[in-house]
């Protein structure tokens, strides 16, 4: 498979999958890749837990207010 063929296939992926792939590719170029990968894996784990109902969700405005920060707008 050529790079052009691979690129064409990747561009046919859904946007979320392309974004995930882009993050992984960029992380692979970084000298801090193991640390970045650990954060990425943790974020994926937490997202899966939230999506499965294993972790509660909190509105961002409430969380920011707890820390005295302005709501997102």
Looking at residue 23, its pLDDT comes to: 86
- Mind listing the pLDDT tens digit for each residue in 42-59? 999 999 999 999 988 889
Looking at residue 12, its pLDDT comes to: 96
How many angstroms separate the most distant Cα atoms in the chain?
53
The average pLDDT across 12-21 equals 93
pTM for this model (two decimals): 0.44
Rounded to whole angstroms, the Cα distance separating 63 from 59 reads 7
Contact predicate 45/52, CB 8 Å:
no
The average pLDDT across 21-25 equals 89
**Nearest-5° Cα angle at 40, 39 to 44:** 115
């Amino acid at each position: 498979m050529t790079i052009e063929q691979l690129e064409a296939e990747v561009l046919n992926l859904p946007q979320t999958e392309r974004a995930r792939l882009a993050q992984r590719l960029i992380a692979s170029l970084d000298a801090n890749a193991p640390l970045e990968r650990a954060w990425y894996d943790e974020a994926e784990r937490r997202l899966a837990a939230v999506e499965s109902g294993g972790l509660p969700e909190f509105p961002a405005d409430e969380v920011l207010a707890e820390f005295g920060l302005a709501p997102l707008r």
